Structure 1
Amino acid sequence: MTEQNELTTPYTIISSDTHAGLPTELYRDYLATKHHAAFDQFMSEREAQLKAITDLGVRNEDFAANWFETNEEVLRSGWEVDRRDLELDKDGVVGEVIFPDADAVESRTCVPFGAGLGLSGDLDPELGLAGAQAHNRWLAELCKTSPERRRGVALIPITAALDDVLKEIRRIKADGLGAVMIPAMWMNQTPYHDRRYDPVWALCEELELPVVTHSGPADREAYGNHLGIYVTEVTWWPSRPLWFLLWSGVFERFPRLRFGVTEAGCWWVGNLLWFTDRLLLGSRGAAKLAGFEEIKLLPSEYFDRNCFIGASNTKRREIGMRYEIGIGNICWGNDFPHPEGTWPETLNILRKTFSDVPIAETRVMLGEAVADVYGFDLAALKPHAERVGVTPATLGQVNADGSAKDLTTKWAAAAEIGRHWLTGHDTGAAINPNAPAQEV
């Protein structure tokens, strides 16, 4: 791409994290008849549960009332396609990876039997799978509208009976869904380092279905109404399976498997790679240990080859860490339509976050990395990108006269250092404390 084309070509912005879901009562039509009685019981208990969390001080009634009053019509885009496309266009987004639970305030669109973002190993195996299947069936219908723009993430409770799990993975692939979300918490079930899950990893590798976790579940019973504890730990649970897969050799046995952690930030990745690489590079603390025989590459090498981060609402600090994390490992997301995401202020936030970031790097983090993981056809998305029209100028990356800004000099030192433990800068002597990566 020539410099002039780079300045004027629209960004193909793909969100690695959006949410969609039916109003919960409408999932009844997608459930097998034998589960209708259990579903009716589930629905009858929801109001009591909502009152209970309100009484505990977990739910902010004033925020909820204002949120739904202010956004009542727009929030229908959580399940109505025409409204959804309109909102995505306004937000600058031309492609989306879709997770469940459009309503993150009162769970009015929660998946039956708790099988949505709260998917965990303590669900009733039969009902958990039934609820997941109901959502998967509906989501496949949604994704068949403008399929070039959508990749639906199927809910797969892999701690259930293995034959049922494999059958559902094959079914959702045939139905056009593009990824598999597994429980972030296995609870009292077998942890993910166990070989019993190898058939799942093998099938997902064969079918080219990325496996992902998403924030949401946590040890809520231990927290009570101490929500600071919850928000501190909620991003740790979806990250935890990553090191269970890595150290148990899953990425060695299944080199084409893609695994991602979504809506858990990416600020922790550099530290994790530094720590785990050091264990295999001769850390004194690991010299006395055995059990690394299944690991043939450095953890950072497995991460670059097999892993990615669905970095919803990517923070300025995280952008400053991108040379440690890996630019191609960061998949930006807007978390639409959740209130903690960037929607509906995405373009303003992107301008503040990326205005001084090199354009080629921005293209990777805002779309190309997501496209690579989830198999989006960038050529098919080009007409949408041209219609929506988000360009480097939109993000403040071009001078007022249309000429190119110098967006590389400021970051040169940080780019050279990269992963300092691998580039000869580990002593810190060559690190400039005023370099941008240290400032943001």
Structure 2
Amino acid sequence: MTNGSEDRYTVISADCHAGADLLDYKPYLASKHHEAFDAWAATYVNPYEDLLADTADKNWNSDRRVAELEEDGIVAEVVFPNTIPPFFPSAALMAPAPTREEFEQRWAGLRAHNRWLADFCSLAPGRRAGVFQILLNDVDEAVKEIRWAHGAGLTGGLLLPGTPPGSGLPELYSQEYDAIWATCAELGIPVNHHAGSASPPLGDEPAARAVFMVETTWFSHRALWHLIFGGAFRRHPDLKLVLTEQGSGWIPGVLDMLDYYHARLVKAATKAAGPKANTAESKFGQGLAASMGKGPSEVWAENCFVGASFMRPHEVPLRERIGLDKIMWGSDYPHDEGTYPYTREGLRIAYAGLPREEVAAMVGGNAARVYGFDLDFLDPIAAKVGPTVGEIAEPLKEPPADATSPVFAPGGKVRVW
């Protein structure tokens, strides 16, 4: 099944970022927090250069954003957070879990972001799926916010915080979070886990920054095996998990590894070994088969998706092993590592020569299905601004000289796992 007009693709970015300018969050806070917000904002030093630059308004300038995305051939976007919510030391994706003393103010800050985001998405109806934020410290409060966000039209789903070592939170496999999974499954809300949201704090030494870059996607991958082995998908078979901006080339190998351990832990029988076969690892797997249900690859096939931001050329040959119905391309706008303003070139370097139906699914069709975009509404826009099938089919000979996205890195072999 294809999407778009006969000669153009309907491109939906499954990974973009937005947020309010710092002071613009204040109207979304309850009045009891205003004095504390004024004090916090007066002394806050933003740690991110891109949020201090002249281009920072890409995060909140709706008209500019629509124009630049259309210029880049993109007609709709899944909107993850980017700017600093009130009372946070850094972007919520990267901030450590709050202490008990910080919890009330941090919750107020995230709620302010969610309410701003609902208004921001309403400025471009049908073209933005906003991803809302929660904290895991209080599951009942999280469930209330999930239900509010669903009612407010934030169709991008839940942004799942990480539980990095030292956070003090139960691990994601814990059944303490079951009400969250149940509510998301009931309402058809995707659970998104974005790179960076589960890394432990490492400090600011040069080596620490290098280690962060090496490890950050691995810490994000952990949500996959935590939820699988924790049985979340057995108890809630309609739950959808999306792993975004973590690469995609790692998925086949990790699924093979998870299947191996699953088989060894649950004493999976073979015709040769028989149903009573023991393994060296089976003593660690008591009760696992009953608690988790299906094996990892089965869960992936039925419940999981990948926000494969600017898919690299070396990952594309793995698309069938990953699942052609699982891959959702993203531009990562407005980040420097994103493909803007060279999205067409980024698509060409990855997808030139592939069948039209496959490209259409990965650049838009899959995202429309997962996040509920209406292709009948988007296709006419794409017929005017979308990249043509012919231009994406043409291999890219030379990357743009000033392109900054890793998709154009020599050889394309960046962050395989």
2:86 aligns to what?
112
Structure number with greater CO (CA < 8 Å, separation at least 6) is: 2
2:347 pairs with 1:350: yes
Q: Give, in whole Å, the separation in 2 of the partners of 1:260 and 1:199.
A: 18
Q: Give, in whole Å, the separation in 2 of the partners of 1:285 and 1:360.
A: 45
1:306 aligns to what?
303
Deviation at 1:6, TM superposition (A): 9.2
Q: Secondary structure at the match of 2:307?
A: strand
Does the 8 Å CA contact 1:154/1:181 hold for their aligned counterparts? Answer: yes
Deviation at 1:119, TM superposition (A): 4.9
Does the 8 Å CA contact 2:86/2:110 hold for their aligned counterparts? Answer: yes
Structure 2 unaligned blocks of 5 or more: 266-278, 396-417
C-alpha spacing 1:371/1:313, structure 2 compared with 1 (3 Å): same
Letter in 1 for 2:28: Y
Letter in 2 for 1:20: A
Does the 8 Å CA contact 2:70/2:386 hold for their aligned counterparts? Answer: no
Does the 8 Å CA contact 2:118/2:153 hold for their aligned counterparts? Answer: yes
Does the 8 Å CA contact 1:184/1:214 hold for their aligned counterparts? Answer: no
1:56 aligns to what?
none
Matches within 5 A, 1:202-221: 202-217=182-197, 218-221=199-202
The Cα offsets for residues 403-423 of structure 1, whole Å up to 9 and x where unpaired, read as xxxxxxxxxxxxxxxxxxxxx
Q: Give, in whole Å, the separation in 1 of the partners of 2:132 and 2:260.
A: 36
Letter in 1 for 2:169: Q
Match 1:100 to one of 81, 99, 110: 81
Match 1:10 to one of 8, 28, 32: 8
2:175 pairs with 1:175: no
C-alpha spacing 1:215/1:163, structure 2 compared with 1 (3 Å): same
Does the 8 Å CA contact 2:16/2:331 hold for their aligned counterparts? Answer: yes
**TM-score under structure 1 normalisation?**
0.79
Letter in 1 for 2:211: I
2:134 pairs with 1:150: no
Q: Give, in whole Å, the separation in 1 of the partners of 2:281 and 2:323.
A: 25
Deviation at 1:120, TM superposition (A): 4.4
1:421 aligns to what?
none
Q: Give, in whole Å, the separation in 1 of the partners of 2:25 and 2:301.
A: 38
1:380 aligns to what?
377
Match 1:38 to one of 15, 36, 43: 36
Q: Give, in whole Å, the separation in 2 of the partners of 1:216 and 1:127.
A: 22
Deviation at 1:241, TM superposition (A): 1.5
2:285 aligns to what?
290
Deviation at 1:75, TM superposition (A): 4.1
Q: Secondary structure at the match of 1:15?
A: strand
State the identity as a percent: 37
2:18 aligns to what?
20
Q: Secondary structure at the match of 2:292?
A: coil
Q: Give, in whole Å, the separation in 2 of the partners of 1:88 and 1:126.
A: 36
**TM-score under structure 2 normalisation?**
0.83
Deviation at 1:348, TM superposition (A): 1.0
2:390 pairs with 1:393: yes
User: For the aligned residues, what is the CA RMSD?
Assistant: 2.4
2:265 pairs with 1:268: no
Q: Secondary structure at the match of 1:234?
A: helix
Q: Give, in whole Å, the separation in 1 of the partners of 2:95 and 2:17.
A: 15
1:360 aligns to what?
357
Letter in 2 for 1:42: W
1:82 aligns to what?
63
